[in-house]
């Protein structure tokens, strides 16, 4: 038996019970901490792995799978691993990159060589039913993508639309702005008592409704001023 094992055995036999309990608690805490750290490490590795995979697919789309050495030389244009949207036109995954509509990298192959083979085969044998099938799938996928874009646009417009209560508040604020402007247009020579003068600041204090009540008085004062200017 090693010296370390003998020391541990002696401590277990001769140490007081509180010390043994504390040692067990410390050991459990260390074990829990190690397990937690391992779990966080695995999560980070998983995120890094997913990020690396996304970066690899983006590089394949930008540089071509051939440059990345990821293309099977035996891959044909009609294989399931080939993106039919790419063959027929544009893949939605390649649109709106780095926007809210970004679909991320396409899981299927985008290879110019296969697209060329597809176009040549369609020219040689346009009656092949696979071409019509590919075209229908492409149009359906694009239509679905456009509908999703429209749905998000409508949702954004709904969020921007004001409720009736908000519209009423806006109307009151516009009317209040007219009241304040009218007060400022009245010359000092026009008689105003202290109460009327104080009301010009009512709206600024947030009391829009009280300011609205003074609109008629303001209009009367403006008319009186106009009469004085005409008679003078």
Last residue of a domain, one of 160, 183, 199: 160
Q: What is the pLDDT of residues 4-53, one digit of tens each?
A: 565 556 556 555 555 555 555 666 666 666 657 766 765 665 666 667 76
Facing residues of 109 across strands?
A: 82
Count: domains in the chain = 2
Q: What is the 3-state secondary structure (H, E, C) of 77-121?
A: CCCCCECHHHHHCCCHHHCCCCCCCCCCCCCCECCHHHHHHHHHH
State the pTM of this model.
Answer: 0.43
- The total of other beta-carbon atoms located within 10 Å of residue 212's CB is 16
For 42: left if phi > 0, alpha if psi spans -120 to 50, otherwise beta; the answer is alpha
- Residues 135, 223 share a domain: no
Last residue of a domain, one of 107, 127, 160: 160
- Residues 203, 183 share a domain: yes
Q: Is residue 223 part of a domain?
A: yes
Give the structural domain span for 220: 164-227
Q: Is residue 73 part of a domain?
A: yes
Contacts of 212 (CB under 8 A, 6+ apart): 172, 175, 176, 179
Provide the 3-class DSSP secondary structure of residue 162: coil
- Residues 152, 171 share a domain: no
Q: Is residue 188 part of a domain?
A: yes
**Sign of the dihedral through C-alpha 194, 195, 196, 197:** positive
Q: pLDDT averaged over the chain? A: 72
Let me know: does 138 contact 90? Beta carbons within 8 Å. no
Burial class (CB in 10 A: 0-12, 13-18, 19+), 118: buried
Mean pLDDT of 121-145: 94
According to the model, what pLDDT value does residue 197 have? 46
According to the model, what pLDDT value does residue 164 have? 72
Q: Is residue 49 part of a domain?
A: no
Facing residues of 24 across strands?
A: none
């Amino acid at each position: 038996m090693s010296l370390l094992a003998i020391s541990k055995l002696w401590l277990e036999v001769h140490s007081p019970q509180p010390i043994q309990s504390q040692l067990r608690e410390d050991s459990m805490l260390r074990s829990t901490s190690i397990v937690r750290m391992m779990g966080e490490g695995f999560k980070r590795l998983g995120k890094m792995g997913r990020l690396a995979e996304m970066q690899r697919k983006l590089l394949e789309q930008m540089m071509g799978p051939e440059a990345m050495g990821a293309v099977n030389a035996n891959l044909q244009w009609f294989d399931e691993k080939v993106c039919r949207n790419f063959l027929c036109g544009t893949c939605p995954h390649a649109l709106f990159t780095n926007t809210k509509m970004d679909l991320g990298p396409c899981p299927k192959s985008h290879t110019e060589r296969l697209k060329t083979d597809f176009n040549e085969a369609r020219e040689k044998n346009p009656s092949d039913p696979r071409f019509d099938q590919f075209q229908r799938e492409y149009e359906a996928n694009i239509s679905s993508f456009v509908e999703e874009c429209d749905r998000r646009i409508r949702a954004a417009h709904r969020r921007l639309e004001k409720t009736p209560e908000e519209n009423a508040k806006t109307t009151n604020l516009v009317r209040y702005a007219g009241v304040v402007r009218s007060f400022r247009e009245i010359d000092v020579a026009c008689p105003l008592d202290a109460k009327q003068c104080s009301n010009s600041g009512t709206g600024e204090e947030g009391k829009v409704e009280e300011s609205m009540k003074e609109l008629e008085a303001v209009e009367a004062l403006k008319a009186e001023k106009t009469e004085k200017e005409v008679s003078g």
